[in-house]
């Protein structure tokens, strides 16, 4: 089913964004120093507006969608941006200076109200800082190129590597803004382990509230030496020896605390450590090994004088960071980055805040009791109706499940000339496999132009006629020289032209290595080794075109759009099945006979 065209009613938050556009307009000339001829049409201010429009509109999922939305009359008037090309948009992170956004961000956040916290913590001097990390999925090759194996964090069921970025967030509870945010490869190990990243960015006067993933004994000492405090969860089976048991007050008992003690851990530390044990309702915890029930929350802290019930209250606020990640990844649709470049990532951080986020944060305490009630009701009903245990497969595992399709799987795709570009998401998928292509054409002595093209200068492949010769070019990630296969001069008349790639093995970076043969009718006219990329072609939104190429050409052998002229293309077939090339030849003969 084709995607519906965006309408003006689908575009959200224009009113809110319009209020910050005057500040952004002051950045128009940033990065224009080299543009002596005055040819630039997409300015830094325009680029920031487009990124903000993408950020706040979940229906905009690609650069192509962004072009479509920006062309709507009301949106175009609000943005004040002319029609822009996908190529210009993709090049922008390299040209512009994201640091110039910092004064605007500071001006916008300076007047934000602080969020209310429990009045019992009003005398607590340290700033409550909620620490956690989340993974943003990235394009495998780009992440690997940037950080190497440190970007790998998971494996698909078929053994493929999954790469991404990890965002290390220190969330200030009162402002609901990241106090600090670092980006590393997604692999939680070595210098980019969450505890080590926090260790490198400690400050005085903060109370770091962390889940069990940061339960690092040496980190406890480092936080204490930095003149800060911590409340960190530990495993129930953590080893300790009691130094002093402390009596529990009525308030502590009411908060569910069953133990309060000064303890010595298995690794001696340079400060007193307090262990708080909190009794909670049995809650199923889903793990790959099965479902277990947790009845205790174990907390370690260096806050030896604070009442135990307030230690429990501080840890309860830790779950606010999960709300922040939900807004970031769910409501804003930021499960992946629109760009994978460092400059663009800096720009991305400017979209964390709006009035909607502030309103959501203000209501979290009001709705906390209702949420607990709904969670308990859900688990009660789930238990009664034999729903438990829950499916514990990861998001990556769920995404690899073969779901029922509206039509049966097929190995052959046929495309006709005179049609719009076919988006890569629904076009033939040749990544990581052998494939064959054949086109039925009628040629004259003057025929020339693109038979088909898919991709752009950043990667793609194309079949075309030039100087009476048949060319097949595979552009591997825009790396020169292009992989090129050329036939001898062709005679006028009907021809079945195409190519076949046989995948033999994987390369060092997961690319496919194999052999390509170029065909004219039933004869091999050129052949040689070739490599194909494992990632998508269409970083800039270019689809599969028949009879022309998009504005961003695949090959330097022709000028865009390279429209096919002085001849006829009857159709182009792609075969990714097990059929031999001869089967396609027979179909071509049949097509000519029917014609």
Residue 2 lies in a domain: no
Do residues 94 and 167 both lie within one domain? no
Please give the Cα distance from 95 to 87 (Å, whole number): 13
Q: What is the pLDDT confidence band of residue 113, given thresholds at 50, 70 and 90? A: confident
Pair of tokens at residue 547: 């009879």
Classify 344 as helix, strand or coil: helix
Look over the chain and give the mean of its residue pLDDT values, rounded to a whole number.
81
pLDDT score, position 579: 38
Phi, psi for residue 4 in degrees, rounded to 5: -70, 145
Please give the Cα distance from 416 to 538 (Å, whole number): 20
Do residues 499 and 455 both lie within one domain? yes
Do residues 311 and 247 both lie within one domain? yes
How, if at all, do strands 177-185 and 206-210 pair?
unpaired
Give the residue with greater pLDDT, 112 vs 64: 64
Give the residue with greater pLDDT, 37 vs 509: 509
Do residues 93 and 122 both lie within one domain? no
Please give the Cα distance from 376 to 391 (Å, whole number): 18
Tell me the per-residue pLDDT of 54-98, one tens digit each, with 9 for 90 and over.
877 878 878 888 889 999 999 999 998 888 888 778 777 777 777
Please give the Cα distance from 219 to 250 (Å, whole number): 32
Pair of tokens at residue 426: 């629904």
- Among 181-185, 222-226, 415-419, 428-432, the range of highest mean pLDDT: 222-226
Pair of tokens at residue 433: 């496999």
pLDDT score, position 310: 96
**Domain end (from 98, 127, 156):** 98
Lowest-confidence region among 75-89, 276-290, 318-332, 394-408: 394-408
Q: Where are the alpha helices (H) located in 184-304, listed in sequence order?
A: 194-199, 217-225, 250-254
- Exposure class string for 308-340: b at 16+ Cβ within 10 A, else e: bbbbbbbbebbebbebbbebbbeebbbeebbbb
Do residues 224 and 254 both lie within one domain? yes
Cα angle 505, 509, 512; round to 5:
30
Please give the Cα distance from 47 to 579 (Å, whole number): 47
Residue 160 lies in a domain: yes
Pair of tokens at residue 358: 């502030």
pLDDT score, position 360: 53
**Domain end (from 70, 98, 126):** 98
pTM score, whole prediction: 0.50
Q: How many structural domains are present in the chain?
A: 3
Pair of tokens at residue 213: 């993933």
Please give the Cα distance from 124 to 454 (Å, whole number): 61
Residue 548 lies in a domain: yes
How far lies 400's CA from each of 158, 335, 403, 511, in Å? 9, 17, 9, 20
Is the confidence at residue 378, as pLDDT, over 70? yes
Is the confidence at residue 328, as pLDDT, over 80? no
Range of the domain at 47: 8-98
pLDDT score, position 351: 41
Is the confidence at residue 489, as pLDDT, over 90? yes
Pair of tokens at residue 172: 């200030």
Cα angle 352, 357, 363; round to 5:
150
pLDDT score, position 439: 94
Give the residue with greater pLDDT, 179 vs 486: 486
Please give the Cα distance from 557 to 164 (Å, whole number): 35
Radius of gyration for the chain, computed over Cα atoms and rounded to the nearest angstrom = 30
* For residues 164-184, average pLDDT: 88
CATH number at residue 553: 2.60.120.200
Please give the Cα distance from 10 to 70 (Å, whole number): 12
Q: Report yes or no: 462 and 450 within 8 Å, Cβ to Cβ.
A: yes
Do residues 428 and 569 both lie within one domain? yes
DSSP classification of residue 336: B
pLDDT score, position 541: 58
Q: What is the pLDDT confidence band of residue 286, given thresholds at 50, 70 and 90? A: low
CATH number at residue 298: 3.90.350
Lowest-confidence region among 54-68, 94-108, 120-134, 237-251: 94-108
Residue 220 lies in a domain: yes
pLDDT score, position 355: 46
Please give the Cα distance from 476 to 478 (Å, whole number): 5
Please give the Cα distance from 250 to 583 (Å, whole number): 83
Residue 103 lies in a domain: no
Residue 515 lies in a domain: yes
Residue 406 lies in a domain: no
Q: Report yes or no: 375 and 390 within 8 Å, Cβ to Cβ.
A: no
Do residues 91 and 207 both lie within one domain? no
Do residues 87 and 140 both lie within one domain? no
Give the residue with greater pLDDT, 339 vs 233: 233
**Domain end (from 75, 98, 121):** 98
Do residues 370 and 456 both lie within one domain? no
Pair of tokens at residue 130: 């909620």
Do residues 357 and 438 both lie within one domain? no
Q: What is the pLDDT confidence band of residue 309, given thresholds at 50, 70 and 90? A: very high
- The tally of CA atoms less than 13 A away on the side-chain side of residue 199 is 16
* For residues 439-450, average pLDDT: 93
Is the confidence at residue 593, as pLDDT, over 50? no
Best CA proximity match to 125, nearest among 263, 365, 314:
314
Do residues 430 and 527 both lie within one domain? yes
Classify 210 as helix, strand or coil: strand
Give the residue with greater pLDDT, 563 vs 323: 563
Residue 528 lies in a domain: yes
* For residues 378-404, average pLDDT: 66
Q: What is the pLDDT confidence band of residue 585, given thresholds at 50, 70 and 90? A: very low
Do residues 324 and 468 both lie within one domain? no
- The tally of CA atoms less than 13 A away on the side-chain side of residue 489 is 7
Q: Where are the alpha helices (H) located in 4-151, listed in sequence order?
A: 14-18, 21-25, 44-55, 63-70, 73-79, 86-95, 102-110, 140-147
Q: What is the pLDDT confidence band of residue 542, given thresholds at 50, 70 and 90? A: confident
Please give the Cα distance from 577 to 567 (Å, whole number): 30
- Among 74-88, 273-287, 520-534, the range of highest mean pLDDT: 520-534
């Amino acid at each position: 089913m084709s995607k519906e065209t965006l309408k003006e009613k689908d575009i959200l938050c224009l009113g809110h964004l319009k209020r910050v556009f005057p500040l952004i307009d002051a950045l128009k000339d940033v990065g224009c120093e080299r543009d002596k001829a005055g040819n630039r049409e997409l300015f830094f201010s325009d680029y920031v507006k487009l990124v903000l429009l993408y950020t706040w509109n979940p229906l905009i999922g690609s650069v192509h969608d962004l072009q479509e939305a920006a062309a709507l009359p009301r949106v175009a008037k609000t943005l004040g941006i002319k029609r822009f090309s996908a190529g210009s948009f993709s090049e922008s992170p390299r040209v512009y200076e994201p640091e110039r956004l910092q004064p605007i961000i500071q001006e916008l956040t300076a007047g934000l109200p602080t969020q209310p916290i429990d009045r019992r913590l009003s005398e607590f001097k340290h700033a409550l800082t909620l620490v956690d990390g989340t993974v943003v999925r990235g394009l495998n090759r780009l992440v690997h190129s940037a950080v190497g194996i440190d970007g790998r964090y998971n494996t698909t069921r078929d053994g493929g590597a999954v790469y991404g970025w990890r965002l290390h967030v220190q969330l200030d509870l009162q402002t609901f803004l990241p106090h600090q945010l670092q980006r590393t490869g997604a692999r939680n190990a070595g210098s980019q382990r969450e505890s080590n990243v926090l260790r490198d960015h400690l400050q005085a006067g903060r109370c770091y509230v962390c889940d069990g993933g940061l339960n690092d004994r040496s980190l406890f000492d480092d936080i204490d030496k930095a003149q800060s405090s911590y409340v960190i969860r530990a495993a129930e089976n953590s080893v300790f020896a009691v130094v002093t048991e402390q009596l529990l007050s009525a308030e502590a008992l009411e908060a569910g605390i069953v133990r309060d003690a000064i303890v010595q851990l298995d690794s001696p530390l340079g400060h007193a450590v307090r262990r708080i044990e909190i009794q909670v309702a049995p809650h199923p915890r889903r793990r790959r090994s099965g479902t277990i029930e947790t009845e205790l929350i174990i907390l370690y802290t260096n806050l030896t004088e604070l009442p135990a019930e307030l230690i429990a209250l501080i840890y309860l606020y830790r779950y606010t960071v999960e709300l922040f990640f939900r807004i970031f990844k769910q409501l804003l649709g930021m499960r992946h980055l629109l760009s994978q470049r460092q400059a663009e990532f800096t720009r991305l951080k400017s979209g964390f805040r709006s009035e909607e986020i502030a309103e959501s944060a203000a209501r979290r305490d009001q709705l906390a009791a209702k949420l607990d009630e709904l969670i308990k009701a859900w688990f009660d009903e789930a238990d009664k109706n034999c729903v438990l245990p829950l499916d514990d497969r990861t998001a990556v595992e769920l995404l690899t499940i073969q779901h029922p399709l509206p039509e049966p799987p097929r190995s052959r795709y046929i495309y006709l000339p005179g049609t719009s570009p076919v988006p890569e998401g629904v076009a033939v998928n040749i990544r990581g496999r052998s494939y064959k292509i054949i086109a039925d054409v009628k040629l004259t002595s003057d025929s020339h132009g693109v038979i088909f093209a898919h991709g752009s200068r950043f990667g793609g492949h194309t079949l075309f006629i030039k100087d009476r010769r048949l060319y097949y070019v595979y552009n591997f990630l825009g790396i020169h020289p292009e992989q090129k296969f050329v036939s001898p001069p062709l005679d006028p008349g009907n021809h079945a032209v195409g190519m076949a790639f046989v995948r033999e093995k994987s390369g060092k970076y997961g690319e496919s290595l194999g052999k390509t043969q170029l065909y004219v009718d039933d004869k091999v006219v050129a052949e040689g080794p070739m490599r194909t990329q494992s990632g998508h072609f269409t970083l800039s939104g270019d689809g599969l075109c028949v009879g022309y190429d998009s504005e961003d050409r695949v090959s330097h052998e022709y000028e865009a759009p390279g429209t096919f002229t002085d001849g006829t293309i009857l159709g182009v077939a792609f075969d990714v099945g097990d059929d031999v090339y001869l089967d396609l030849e027979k179909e071509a003969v049949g097509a000519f006979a029917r014609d």
